[in-house]
A and B are shown apart, each in its own frame.
Chain A
Amino acid sequence: MAMANVVVGIADCQVSKSRDEILVTYALGSCIAVAIHDPVAGVGGMLHYMLPESSISASKAAENPYMFADTGIPLLFRRAYECGAEKRRLVVRVAGGAQVMDSEGIFNIGKRNYLALRKILWKAGVLVQGEAVGGNLSRTVRLEVGSGRFWLRGPGSPSEQELGSPGSVPKGAQSWPSAS
């Protein structure tokens, strides 16, 4: 079966019910990718967001809600539900939030993006099955809509690592400098 890559860009979101599609997003620095999958409905979705809170710019949020965690994440879930996904069946993986200098010289946006995600998911009553966040490496991730498997790759690395497969122990590769 020929697999088709569906690219999720920066500040973008894709949801699919096609078994032969793979949702992929590249070069997550301080941005975060949230991948969700309902194995029963066969629905997969991925959001790639840049910033934690839309309150900094209502006009930007209206133009592109996928730029922010607080507008993008609820939309990702809603679009998945519209395709038949159910919240309690969803398997969630998270990647990104690296501690890198972004274009505005803000150093801790990765951590802020991660905290925003955690708050939103906890309030929504959703637990994470696998995560690879923090550190200072940029990551590329992909979600197979057919199988629900989630793969992760570091920059310039040919080898992929599977994350949060059902039954596996989620890897919390979190490593921000401690607050001190």
Chain B
Amino acid sequence: MPDSEWSTMLAAATGEVLETMFFTSVGGPAAPAEPTAEPRLAVRLSFEGTPSGALALSVSEVTVRALAANFLPSEEDEPPLSQLGGVVCELANMICGSMLTRVKTEEHFRLSSPELVPEGAALLAVPPSQSLAVGEDAADGTIDLWLVLEPHAN
């Protein structure tokens, strides 16, 4: 399957998840997030199937706080950092699963548990496969997405 189809499926899955569970619209393609002092949360998971591969994503902590407040409204002003990590992990899990649901294959995919990736990890130094604007305003944030597919064994 050509890369452009994967890009389309990934963007569609990202939009579907952010709109349905986080009530946040996804705008069009955006420039990748600038490396700034602003803290970001990144998560990675892998999948086995036809094909196998891995998905990673990175979002600013400010954006994750807003998404978490939409997903799990709470009385507390500041949800704990552990909950933010949980939210971005589940976000990645759903985007990956939703993307793979769109793949036309006879096989099931198996997803690993998502894991937080520390800032400065090698994976994040590579330019993302795509970046999408999150929310309506430019200030709302960007989600950077990395998709790696293993070549088919022929």
The answer to whether A and B belong to the same complex is: yes
Contact of B11 among A111, A122, A179 (CB under 8 A): A179
B15 touches A179 (CB 8 A): yes
Least distance between A7 CB and chain B CB atoms (Å): 30
Q: CA of A178 to CA of B15 in the docked complex: distance in angstroms?
A: 8
CA gap between A171 and B12 in the complex, in Å? 23
Task: Name the distance in Å between B147's Cβ and chain A's nearest Cβ.
Answer: 15
Within 8 A of B (CB), among A108-124: 108, 111-112, 115-116, 118-119, 122-123
Residues of A within 8 A of B25 (CB): 108, 111-112, 115
Question: Total number of A-B contacts with CB less than 8 angstroms?
Answer: 34
How far is it, in angstroms, between the C-alpha of A122 and the C-alpha of B70 when the chains are bound? 8
B1-24 at interface with A (beta carbon < 8 Å) = 8, 11-12, 14-16, 19, 23-24
| Residues in B whose Cβ lies below 8 Å from that of A157 | none
Give the CA-CA distance A153 to B99 in the complex, in Å: 36
Residues of chain B lying within 8 A (CB to CB) of residue A118: 23
- Please give the number of chain A residues whose Cβ is less than 8 angstroms from any Cβ of chain B in the complex: 13
- Which residues of B in the span 98-153 have a Cβ within 8 Å of any Cβ on A? 136
**Chain B: number of interface residues, binned into ranges:** 10 to 19
Contacts of A123 in B (CB 8 A): 69-70, 73
Task: State the majority secondary structure of interface residues on B.
Answer: helix
Q: Which residue of A lies closest to B14 (CB)?
A: A179
Kindly state whether residue A180 has any CB partner on chain B within 8 Å.
yes
Task: Determine whether the beta carbon of A115 is less than 8 Å from that of B12.
Answer: no
B-side contacts of A108, CB under 8 Å: 25
CA distance A123 to B23 in the complex (A): 11
CA distance A179 to B69 in the complex (A): 23
| Contact assessment for A179 and B73 in the assembled complex, using a CB-CB cutoff below 8 Å | no
Q: How far is the CB of A63 from chain B (nearest CB, A)?
A: 23
Chain B's closest residue to A55 (CB) is B137
The reply to whether the CB of B91 lies closer than 8 angstroms to some CB of chain A is no
C-alpha gap A178/B16 in the complex (Å): 8
In the complex, what's the smallest C-beta–C-beta distance from B66 to chain A, in angstroms?
10
Chain B residues near A116 (CB, 8 Å)?
23
A180 near B8: Cβ-Cβ < 8 Å: yes
Contact between chains at A122 and B73 (CB < 8 Å):
yes
Q: Please, how many angstroms separate the alpha-carbon atoms of A179 and B98 in the complex? A: 13
Residue numbers in A under 8 Å from B26 (CB-CB): 179
Given A112-B136, A122-B70, are A179 and B16 also a contact pair (CB < 8 Å)?
yes
Q: Find out whether the CB atom of A180 lies under 8 angstroms from the CB atom of B11.
A: yes
Q: Other than A111-B25, A118-B23, A179-B19, give 18 A-B pairs with Cβ distance below 8 A.
A: A108-B25, A111-B19, A112-B136, A115-B24, A115-B25, A116-B23, A122-B70, A122-B73, A123-B70, A123-B73, A125-B73, A178-B12, A178-B15, A179-B11, A179-B15, A179-B16, A180-B12, A180-B15
